[in-house]
Structure 1
Amino acid sequence: MSTNKEKLKVAELFAGVGGFRLGLEKSNYEVVWSNQWEPLTKTQHASMVYEARFGAENHSNQDIATVPIEEIPDHDLLCGGFPCQDYSVATTLTNSKGLKGKKGVLWWTIHRILEEKKKKPRYLFLENVDRLLKSPAKQRGRDFAVMLQSLNDLGYAVEWRVINAAEYGMPQRRRRVFFIGYHKSTQLFSRLKSSDKQDWIFEEGTIADAFPVREEQNPVINHFELNNDLVKITKNFNKNGKISPFENTGVMIDGRVYTVKTYASYNGPYKVLGDILQNGEVTQDFFLSEEDKPKWEYLKGAKKELRTTKDGYQYNYSEGGMIYPDPLDNASRTIITGEGGKSPSRFKHVVESDRGLRRLTPVELERLNMFPENHTKLEGITDSKRAFFMGNALVVGIVERIGKSLYKKVF
């Protein structure tokens, strides 16, 4: 890494085991503060791994909602993969400074930092599951509209894209929405404002530079204004709409949304599940026992059967079969948090090896998310917990490429 270039200072929220940090620090970014807090467990396993890899200095293991703003140092970039929840705004509270969302909804902890920081971060880099663009079911896209409008109120423009890592040669089919925010004080905000929005989406934007999309002839870009009242958006946005107005790609600036469906453009090498396997290095406990194999086959297989609830109600249940074992000549299916442990499961990966059928190891799961090998290996951390970390993590290669693109555009 060149040391004569200016570094962008980063605050990493919902840090997990450090996926954003790993990707960004491959370019000229410096994490000056991080926070990881798991509310449902006494032992803070992810924070333990984070501190073991990056040190305890400037790392917070405290509920982010209770961290005083003055304890968070000034930074250029705020990043994090925040949990997907219901973002709905409750009401305008007469005894508050303005709008407050549901208590415990973590989007509003990001909002609080951006609202209360005297020196606001110039850039945002956030990640979420792609259903954010479509939730909730009765008001498709409302949650994303609330989020975009709240950022607009705080002086940010936003560009977003749903990226499937496998479509750009990475070894896992993991689809997530990534979005970049530009504060109105930045040159990038001004450039986006004066740009042809179609050109920005397809060529000029930070994400388009990192992850090219196909040139479409006469693409249909949907554009609309966000109502600038968050309570009205909460109550009325796309009420009874069957589909979300938000496509997989778009920008929002000054409350105006431009959104279009895009398709990946990539002609480089592809990694597949077979490329990441630890051939010959796997211990026996990862192999399926003979007694469990029928259960695995049943769970993975197609079903049409009559089932009965605890109350005695009978219903017809059906589901399609899954490819079993997982094919080695394609990118893997998405890793889930329940990937660890010996118990048979429909959703855990099973691969064929020269010694028989087996589950994936923690190192293989790390490789699928492009983490360093044994990044999560630590005394007191079980294999199941390591698998849980990777089910929650992001693909480091995506962060690395968007981070490089953003740095290049800032400087």
Structure 2
Amino acid sequence: MKKTVCELFAGVGGFRVGLNGRNDNRNWDFVFANQWEPGKKNQYAFDCYAYHFGKGHNHVNEDIGTVDENTIPNHNLLVGGFPCQDYSVARTQALGIQGHKGVLWWEINRIVKAKRPPFILLENVDRLLKSPAKQRGRDFGIILYSLWKLGYAVEWRVLNAAEFGFAQKRRRTFIFAFHKNTKYYTKLSKLDSLDNWVLSKGFFQAEFPSKFLKDHLSTELMDFNDMVDISDRFKFDFKNSGIMLDGQITTMELKAKEFTPITLGQIRQTEVVDEKYFIHKDANKLEKFKYLKGSKKIQRVDKNGYEYFYSEGGMSFPDDLDSPGRTMLTSEGSVNRSTHVIEDAITGNYRILTPIECERLNGFPDNWTDTGMPENFRYFCMGNALVVGLIEKMGHQLDKIFKSEKDINIMESEEAAVTFEQLKLGI
């Protein structure tokens, strides 16, 4: 099977760097890429992507909602990291079904429906499995239902990058979907146990070995009439791993067989660092960091006049150099509770991480984002990015899968199947 890829919500190229490296030397052919930062006059992330991979007709810098899905080249793998939003749907007056405007899952769904890639690999925050709070599991249930109706099986796993040898405690949900017309799907459908797939035969286990911890649960999507019914009634306690096949869901809590992680000390720059990153000479900034990272119990009043205490635990100050970094947010580099503060390798004085160190936390090459964007946006891009080493490991599995698959036109094969069914019914 040709290793053709469509990359949605491409950012600065995390999926592409993970699959191909910075020089596209692993033969994954990215036939289409889209990146658009809403509300931004300057499209720095796209500019960074184009700087490294070139500008061309297949690198599109526009709102994905305006892209005609029929103009996207056919591809065998669709990848992308999309935001956790409200995926609920409602029935329109014309009895159609419509999701919330601007919700990017529906753009993915639209493109998958039009192009039917044999394989899909998506990334999202770990809370996707539990959202929304008032109907836990509904949003992920909608995603599974959508893909099931389009002919896919889905495996998912929440991965903490640090548990598999990387430099950041970044937990993300990865979703791997594969169409019923693939050999890979056939392999799964022949198993007598979905548990066996999750714990032994599946996509994630080879590169991210884990063992059963607790909470084996099952449910069925067939109990629901349509997407609106799922949106209205579906509620389920998804665990950190699982599989959906033919509408049947099996999920369980797994514990990673941990690797030795890379530490903050190992990714820290050992050369002289610009003074602008140091905070030890600014008493106000130093005290602000200490306060933000310290434990606190603050009395507050809600909108109804009820008094309560807001409590917050303390954080290490400075950050432990013998541990991997915490989850990096888009606010990294600002005076913020989540910003890392470390001891400088040469002076021992307190400072924030440099953009290069943030790139290292995600596994990007040094100065990957040094492409003309402001420094605060370099931090922003890394706060949005994924850990590329995880994608590199997934790429090893994808290589094996693609070698065993033949190129197929899923849309044509589905049309043929419908025609055959019509013939059987005498239509």
Partner residue, 1:10 = 5
Distance 2:144 2:104 in 1: 15
1:197 equivalent in alignment to 2:194: yes
Partner residue, 1:114 = 112
Partner residue, 1:383 = 375
Deviation, structure 1 residue 304:
2.1
Partner residue, 1:103 = 101
Partner residue, 2:173 = 177
1:340 equivalent in alignment to 2:340: no
Partner residue, 2:81 = 81
Distance 1:147 1:90 in 2: 15
- CA shift digits 1:174-214 (9 cap, x unpaired): 00000111011101111111122111101111111121112
Distance 2:243 2:301 in 1: 48
Deviation, structure 1 residue 308:
6.7
Distance 2:383 2:375 in 1: 12
Distance 2:271 2:176 in 1: 42
Deviation, structure 1 residue 311:
11
Partner residue, 1:206 = 203
Deviation, structure 1 residue 215:
5.8
2:33 is paired with a residue of what secondary structure? strand
1:232 equivalent in alignment to 2:232: no
- CA shift digits 1:5-41 (9 cap, x unpaired): x641000000000000111114442111100011121
Q: How does 1:318-357 map to 2 (within 5 A)?
A: 318-341=311-334, 344-353=335-344, 354-355=346-347, 356-357=349-350
Distance 1:313 1:190 in 2: 58
Does the aligned pair in 1 maintain the 2:2–2:76 contact within 8 Å?
no
Does the aligned pair in 2 maintain the 1:206–1:409 contact within 8 Å?
no
Distance 1:163 1:66 in 2: 32
Distance 1:220 1:311 in 2: 39
Q: CA, structure 1 residues 93+8, in 2 after alignment: closer, same or farther (shift >3 Å)?
A: farther
Q: How does 1:9-408 map to 2 (within 5 A)?
A: 9-26=4-21, 27-57=26-56, 58-91=58-91, 94=94, 98-117=96-115, 120-195=116-191, 196-214=193-211, 221-226=216-221, 227-238=224-235, 244-267=236-259, 269-288=260-279, 289-291=281-283, 292-307=285-300, 315-341=308-334, 344-353=335-344, 354-355=346-347, 356-379=349-372, 381-408=373-400
Q: Which moved more, 1:65-74 or 1:300-309?
A: 300-309
Deviation, structure 1 residue 293:
1.2
The TM-score, its normalising length taken from structure 2, stands at 0.88
Deviation, structure 1 residue 313:
8.1
Distance 1:94 1:309 in 2: 42
- What code does the residue aligned with 1:111 have? N
Distance 1:317 1:89 in 2: 35
Does the aligned pair in 1 maintain the 2:121–2:176 contact within 8 Å?
yes
- What code does the residue aligned with 1:17 have? V
Q: Any stretches of 5+ residues in structure 1 without a counterpart?
A: 1-5, 239-243
Q: CA, structure 1 residues 228+18, in 2 after alignment: closer, same or farther (shift >3 Å)?
A: farther
Deviation, structure 1 residue 314:
6.1
Q: Provide the identity percentage.
A: 49
Does the aligned pair in 1 maintain the 2:153–2:179 contact within 8 Å?
yes
Does the aligned pair in 2 maintain the 1:302–1:319 contact within 8 Å?
yes
Distance 1:39 1:370 in 2: 26
Q: Any stretches of 5+ residues in structure 2 without a counterpart?
A: 404-427
Does the aligned pair in 1 maintain the 2:36–2:46 contact within 8 Å?
yes
- CA shift digits 1:289-343 (9 cap, x unpaired): 33221111111111123357899986533211111100000111000000024xx
Q: Which moved more, 1:165-174 or 1:276-285?
A: 276-285
Partner residue, 1:3 = none
Question: CA RMSD for the aligned pairs?
Answer: 1.9
- CA shift digits 1:68-88 (9 cap, x unpaired): 112100000000001110100
1:298 is paired with a residue of what secondary structure? helix
Q: Paired residues, what number?
A: 391
Does the aligned pair in 2 maintain the 1:340–1:383 contact within 8 Å?
no
1:208 is paired with a residue of what secondary structure? coil
